[in-house]
Amino acid sequence: MNNHSFGFSIHATDGHARLGTLYTSNGIIDTPAFMPVGTSATVKAMTPESVESTGAQIILSNTYHLMLRPTAERIHALGGLHQFMNWHRPILTDSGGYQVMSLAKLRKISENGVIFQSHIDGSRHELTPERSINIQYLLGSDISMCFDECTPFPVDEYVARESMLLSMRWAKRSKEAFIQREGYGLFGIVQGGVYKSLREESCSKLLDIGFDGYAIGGLAVGEGQALMFKTLDVTNQFLSNDKPRYLMGVGKPPDIVGAVQRGVDMFDCVLPTRSGRNGQVFTPNGPMNLNNACHKDDSRPIDSECNCYTCAHYSRSYLNHLLKCKEILGAVLLTWHNLHFYQTLMKNLRKAIHEQTLTQFVEQFHLTYGVSEQNDTQA
């Protein structure tokens, strides 16, 4: 399979975990993979070159934000999203469904789609499955996502089922609107809340439609790790083994490790970038807040074992100083370290699967990182 055909190959497994390669029009992605989030055609505080230097092979951008500004039509006229933002590796775009639910004002959901007011200027817009897929086509996304309704949590089973069935009808329309072309793929999104029967029904309907990959939606919305893992165990058994699986919006390093053990191949989350901008960094021993005064005289790097640009050149003392002075460079350097930490974690997970040592790796990870994080990683 060449780099210009869309497809997925599994090279090794360890338990339910899979080591694979995802092939797209703009290159390959080694899986399990973490996608830095570039909401508005930029990974905040980072150049594309610095993102690539961390080991990232794919980023995620946002349909909702880009349709509002600068508009998909403008990006298309300027050569597409890859050219526009100078990122020439794969890009996955979400469908906008989650942002319509979480950010937009005065939204009205119908069978056709969602009518909403922009959170930016109050302007009125309509997002349908067809329009969402068209926007992603104009952007030139290597991986497009079906338009769906993100089921809230907690929610009773009847409401969860009605929401899931609407998303499945939208999934069919998304597939029909998607323009098949070499190297580009469309993922369906499993919904159904935390209800096993609904997850099974959702998987069945999506498999009948047929997609290039399957995302697991509606998790990491407040249900907690134990329930998320239980729902993952339920969901993955109903998905085809030969297609990539993407857990949307996850997350914390222990969540990623546990999800990889359960057969998930792809992740995205704003956590490493948002945390970096707020002074929090990730280390093998867990999160660390560099705003704290204990770092102001500390000449050590964030992590003496880390070979990222930040740890190679800067001390905790200097980083603490940048944060206290609210200097932009602080956000740059901390984000750089965090993205490198996440990519290193993924690289180590891939190595462990290849060497059939995942169980030992996970045990050592929890021993070092701590199963229960006492720090607020959403800071």
Catalytic residue flag (residue 233):
no
Burial class (CB in 10 A: 0-12, 13-18, 19+), 15: middle
Among 142, 148, 268, 303, the one annotated catalytic: 268
DSSP codes of every residue in 193-245: TT-HHHHHHHHHHHHHH--SEEEE-S-SSSS-HHHHHHHHHHHHTTS-TTS-E
Nearest to 351 by CA among 129, 113, 19, 88: 19
Contacts of 224 (CB under 8 A, 6+ apart): none
Q: Among residues 14, 94, 148, 212, which one is catalytic?
A: 94
C-alpha 60/C-alpha 373 separation (Å) is: 26
Which uninterrupted H or E stretch holds 23? strand 17-24
Residue type present at position 372: S
Specify the residue for token string 């995802």.
22
* Alpha-helix residue ranges (DSSP H) falling in the chain: 48-53, 63-68, 72-77, 81-85, 97-102, 129-139, 157-177, 196-209, 225-236, 253-261, 271-277, 309-313, 316-324, 328-354, 358-369
Q: How far apart (Å, rounded) are the C-alpha atoms in residues 46 and 181? A: 31
Show the CA angle centred on residue 147, arms to residues 144 and 149, nearest 5°. Answer: 140
Instruction: Verify whether residue 268 is a known catalytic residue.
Output: yes
d(CA 188, CA 266): 14
**The two three-digit tokens of residue 30, written as one number:** 């080694």
Q: So which residues are the catalytic ones?
A: 94, 268
